[in-house]
Amino acid sequence: MDIAIFDAQELPLVLGALRDVALANDSFTPDEAALIEGLAKLHGQDIRADELRHVSFEQLARAVTAPHRRKRVVQLAIIMSLVEGQPGAVSSQAVLDLAKALDVSEQGVGVLDEVAHERAMLARFDMVRRVQRFARHNAGASFFKVAASTLLGLSQDPALAARYYALAKYPRGSLGRALFDHFYEHEFTMPGEKGGLPELMLFHDIGHVISGYGVDPHSEIQQAAFQAGFARTDGFVFLLFGILQFHLGLRITPVAQGERGHFDVPLVLKALARGAACKVDFSDHFDFFRYAAEPLEELRARWGVAPLEREVATDRARDAQRREAVFQ
């Protein structure tokens, strides 16, 4: 998912329109300003959110004409409407009006409307359908069929499981050993085991290993953004998934609880940029065992994955304060 795609003339108009979407509910928060200013920095620009002028959606449509860029504007507007937490109908309508003005068809607009009107079950269903389409495009298999077999314990493959357990013998510091340690330390079942992760979705855990993000909710939303960045086909689904699951508390996957208030805007944007800079799409037929014996740090450097800047304790404290303020 590319993110820094707007030229110097388009960017202020795009950010102005995003600010207007944020103001639809008559509120403009520091986190919403941080999203706008963070997007500007990703484009190499220093723009203050409070200095942006009003931009009509029609004016934006005249300035941004490329379909791909228009779609990205709408997707960013969806994210903007979710920064504060549970969106209202007025925010959803603003995004819908923007999509109409730009003539963009984006399923996320419908998901946003369902969330805004508290139709959580429909939102979950639409998100799973979108993940299924992603899986079919990148792996050619039915996501529902694979997921059902996994949950029912019908997809056991001892030979496959043994192949992954053999990663324990790989050198420390290698990609293969790092993936084994990731599964072992978190007590995850291996692919091929009863209830194990299907190889179809292994790219998520490979992404954890490559990125260095943990599996706690605060880190999972960053991993979702990193994954959105490296996925060249509809990476937006993972960013939206992460925000719904780990910020709005909408439980989409059965293997993780819904969590609230973990959208740390600067960290999520940084994770998105790290993923977008990655030279490899791990979700698109990535041959893991081809690289499993190689040193992880060398692979990161080769693939353009910037070192992870570890959070300090104050970041976690700030996250807790935001969660309490937003969801009190």
pLDDT interval class at 314 (50, 70, 90): very low
List where CATH 1.10.3680.10 sits in the chain.
1-118
Predicted pLDDT at 128: 86
Per residue in 150-183, pLDDT tens? Answer: 444 556 889 999 999 999 999 999 999 999 999 9
**Cβ–Cβ < 8 Å for 243, 79:** yes
CATH code of the domain made up of 1-118: 1.10.3680.10
Mean of per-residue pLDDT scores for the chain? 89
| Long-range contacts of 111-115, Cβ-Cβ distance < 8 Å, separation of 24 or more | 111/78, 111/240, 111/244, 112/78, 112/81, 112/82, 112/87, 115/82, 115/86, 115/87, 115/244, 115/248, 115/250
Determine the 3-state secondary structure of 74 from DSSP. Answer: helix
Tell which wins on pLDDT, 253 or 70.
Answer: 70
Taking residues 7-30, report their average pLDDT. 97
Check whether 321 has a pLDDT greater than 50.
yes
- pLDDT for the residue numbered 80: 98
Q: What is the pLDDT of residue 155?
A: 65
Q: How far is CA 193 from CA 90, 143, 152, 163, 200, in A?
A: 47, 18, 12, 11, 14
Question: 313 pLDDT exceeds 90?
Answer: no
The pLDDT score that the predictor gives to residue 135 is: 66
Does 324 score more than 60 pLDDT?
no
* Residue 184 pLDDT: 95
In percent, how much of the chain has pLDDT > 70? 88
Interval 51-77 mean pLDDT: 97
- Residue, of 133 and 260, whose pLDDT is higher: 260
Residue 114: strand pairing partners: none
Q: Kindly indicate the confidence band of residue 327, based on its pLDDT and cuts at 50, 70 and 90.
A: very low
> Full-prediction pTM beyond 0.85?
yes
